């Protein structure tokens, strides 16, 4: 089956590089090609990794969407607009969402956004602990592919360094990938503010409980969040400065200006999940704290004091 990656950010480019190393032809679509065709490298988003010969880059969406499998590697907050605007070219295809988050306007995850715009498409989610530079370097990476019937798709998207585990729980997989970014911002704030590794571990653990609580409220399977797309992604994202969300929180905690020009999906997701939780009466103190800090309603010290002042309870 032919494959195209729509979106030439760091992660989309890394996936395209890894897939094309299998020998199959792969197309990478970018709205702005810049010098990628001549340089055979994405110098702006993923410098230092040459494109394999079997990787073709194009800015012609009609050409890219001729493939059987389309990996949607657009930012989460751009996904709804993209699939709606190009539904005629995408519907009926196998569409694999590679973004993580919850749409701030609609409160929907990527699977439902795709289904509403492209009802005849086969919808899948690709998620799990991964950094683009590791994938592009050929380092071992394990991910979750969430799809209702995905044996053929699992085989088509597996590479020498990407091992895919299959799941039928699209809701659980996408929520794990979304909420871990919110917890990563909180963990970055904790370390940046000098609150220590013990506080970091506590926040990560309680953040995981919060992720599970929200996922179950949305109909996810209980075990999904314990897998790669939940706990695995949380462990990676909350403990490395390679994580854009952790690095963003780290800068906030230190009182620095956050890095410019990078997509920090956890900012919008925190607001979306906090709004959804309030509507259904679900307690999400860490997400609420991140939103309050981002909106300048609380200082970091006030947010920490608020969390510590919560009523004592059983774990």
Does 22 reside within a domain? yes
Find the Cα–Cα–Cα–Cα dihedral 35, 161, 15, 218, rounded to 10°: -160
Residues involved in catalysis: 180
CA distances from residue 119 to 67, 75, 102, 190, 278 in whole angstroms, order as listed: 18, 21, 19, 42, 30
Contacts for 203 with CB less than 8 Å, ≥ 6 apart: 183, 186, 187, 190, 286
Q: How many domains does the chain have?
A: 2
Cα 290 from Cα 264, distance rounded (Å)? 13
Same domain, 45 and 127: yes
Cite the beta strand spans of the chain per DSSP E: 3-6, 26-29, 41-42, 46-50, 55-58, 69-72, 94-97, 122-127, 141-146, 162-167
Task: Look at residue 313 in the predicted model and tell me its pLDDT.
Answer: 81
Indicate whether 304 pLDDT > 90.
no
In a shared domain, residues 75 and 191: no
Map residue 145 onto helix, strand or coil. Answer: strand
Tell me, rounded to whole angstroms, the distance of Cα 231 from its chain centroid. 14
Do 81 and 46 lie in one domain? The reply is yes
Query: Whole-prediction pTM value?
Result: 0.95
Are 153 and 236 in a shared domain? no
The C-alpha angle with vertex 168 and arms to 151 and 164, in degrees rounded to 5, equals: 50
- Residues 4 and 46: their CA atoms lie apart, in Å, by 18
Give me the pLDDT at residue 85, please: 98
Asked if 121 and 92 touch (Cβ cutoff 8 Å), the reply is yes
Return the bridge partners of 183, or none: none
- Cross-strand partners of 123: 95
Per-residue confidence (pLDDT) for residue 307, from 0 to 100: 85
Main-chain phi, psi angles of 29, to 5 degrees: -95, 135
Per-residue pLDDT of 175-205, as tens digits, reads 999 999 999 999 999 999 999 999 999 999 9
Same domain, 152 and 8: yes
- Dihedrals phi, psi of 238, to nearest 5 degrees: -90, 5
Domain assignment present for 314: no
Q: Which two tokens stand for residue 91?
A: 């519907």
pLDDT tier at 306 (50, 70, 90 boundaries)? confident
With contact defined as beta carbons under 8 Å apart, do 264 and 258 qualify? yes
Residue 260: what pLDDT?
74
pLDDT in the model for residue 237? 97
Q: Is the pLDDT of residue 312 over 80?
A: no
Q: How confident is the model at residue 314 (pLDDT cuts 50, 70, 90)?
A: confident
* Percentage, residues of the chain above pLDDT 90: 92
Whether residue 61 sits in one domain with residue 190: no
Question: Domain of 7: which CATH number?
Answer: 3.40.50.720
What would the mean pLDDT of 128-138 be, rounded to a whole number? 98
Alpha-carbon torsion 218, 223, 228, 232, what sign?
A: positive
Asked if the structure places residue 313 within a domain, the reply is: no
Q: Do 71 and 120 sit in the same domain of this protein?
A: yes
Range of the domain at 261: 172-308
Task: Supply φ then ψ for residue 104, to 5 degrees.
Answer: -70, -35
Question: Over the stretch 23-77, which tens digit does the pLDDT of each residue have?
Answer: 999 999 999 999 999 999 999 999 999 999 999 999 999 999 999 999 999 999 9
Q: Is residue 176 part of a domain?
A: yes
Q: What is the mean pLDDT of residues 283-312?
A: 90
Q: What is the mean pLDDT of the chain?
A: 95
Say whether both 90 and 178 belong to one domain: no
- Taking residue 222's Cβ as centre, other Cβ atoms within 10 Å add up to 11
Task: Give me the mean pLDDT over the 203-216 stretch.
Answer: 96
Q: 295-306: string of b/e by CB count within 10 Å (b at 16+)?
A: eeebebeebbee
Tell me the average pLDDT across 238-253.
95
* pLDDT bracket for residue 310 (50, 70, 90): confident
| 193, 141: one domain | no
Q: What's the pLDDT at 261?
A: 74
- DSSP SS3 for 102: coil
In whole angstroms, what is the distance from residue 224 CA to residue 79 CA?
Answer: 24
**Cα 265–Cα 83–Cα 272 angle in degrees, nearest 5:** 35
The residue among 221 and 312 whose pLDDT is bigger is 221
The CATH number for 191's domain is 1.10.1040.10
| Residue 160 and residue 277 in one domain | no
Establish if 230 belongs to a structural domain: yes
How far is 171 from 300, CA to CA, in rounded Å?
A: 32
Phi, psi (deg, nearest 5) at residue 287: -60, -40
Q: Max Cα separation, the chain?
A: 61
In a domain, 195, yes or no: yes
CB 41 within 8 A of CB 21: no
């Amino acid at each position: 089956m032919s494959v195209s990656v729509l979106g030439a950010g760091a992660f989309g480019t890394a996936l395209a590089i890894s897939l094309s190393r299998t020998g199959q032809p792969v197309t990478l679509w970018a709205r702005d090609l810049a010098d990628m065709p001549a340089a055979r490298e994405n110098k702006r988003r993923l410098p230092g990794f040459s494109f394999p010969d079997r990787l073709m880059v194009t800015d012609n969406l009609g050409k890219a969407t001729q493939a059987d499998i389309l990996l949607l590697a657009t930012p989460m907050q751009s996904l709804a607009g993209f699939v709606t605007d190009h539904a005629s070219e995408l519907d009926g295809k196998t569409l694999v969402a590679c973004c993580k988050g919850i749409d701030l306007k609609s409160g929907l995850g990527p699977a439902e956004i795709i289904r509403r715009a492209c009802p005849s498409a086969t919808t899948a989610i690709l998620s799990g602990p991964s950094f683009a530079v590791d994938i592009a370097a050929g380092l071992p990476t394990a991910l979750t592919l969430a799809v209702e019937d995905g044996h053929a798709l699992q085989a088509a998207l597996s590479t020498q360094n990407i091992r895919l585990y299959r799941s039928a729980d699209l809701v659980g997989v996408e929520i794990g990938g979304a909420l871990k970014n919110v917890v990563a911002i909180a963990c970055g704030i904790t370390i940046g503010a000098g609150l220590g590794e013990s506080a970091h571990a506590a926040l990560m653990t309680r953040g995981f409980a919060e992720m599970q609580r929200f996922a179950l409220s949305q109909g996810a399977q209980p075990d999904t969040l314990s897998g790669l797309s939940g706990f695995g992604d949380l462990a990676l994202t909350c403990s490395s400065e390679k994580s854009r969300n952790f690095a963003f929180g780290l800068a906030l905690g230190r009182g620095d200006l956050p890095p410019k020009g990078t997509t920090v999906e956890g900012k919008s997701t925190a607001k979306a999940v906090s709004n959804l939780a309030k509507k259904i009466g679900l307690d999400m103190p860490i997400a609420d704290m991140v939103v309050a800090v981002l909106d300048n309603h609380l200082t970091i010290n006030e947010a920490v004091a608020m969390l510590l002042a919560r009523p004592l309870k059983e774990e």
